[in-house]
Amino acid sequence: MSTITIYHNPRCSKSRQTLALLEERGVSPTVVEYLSDPPSKATLKRIVKMLSVRPIDLVRRREEPFKTLGLASKQDDDEAILNAMARHPILIERPIVIKGNKAALGRPPENVLEIL
């Protein structure tokens, strides 16, 4: 059985709901509180690939670093976006659940059921 990991922010209601959904189904995921233990750029690149999205699609645009770093004008620069997310993990959309080579964004939380 593949290990299941959730990139989690305990202050986020969707993240808490997704974790609860997993636990209700008997899943005890590895919990990575990504704000204090941020993923590397390489890990982010792998997650983006598993989600079949572009890096900009995984960015929280309302967070302050998005504005202060001028990321709106760099949306097509995947490397710049990945670098920004690695340096400022608050920019990473959450929660992200990974199982093997599959990933799902828990917005809504039920999305993660597809990879279980």
Q: Choosing from 4, 11, 12, 97, which is the catalytic residue? A: 12
Q: Which residue, among 42, 33, 36, has the nearest Cα to 96 in the 3D structure?
A: 33
Q: How far apart are CA 18 and CA 62, in angstroms?
A: 21
Q: How far apart are CA 39 and CA 6, in angstroms?
A: 12
Question: Percentages helix, strand, coil for the chain, rounded to the nearest 5?
Answer: 50, 15, 35
Pairing of strands 102-105, 30-33: unpaired
Per the annotation, the verdict on 3 as an active-site residue is no
Q: How far apart are CA 102 and CA 50, in angstroms?
A: 6
| Active-site annotation, residues | 12
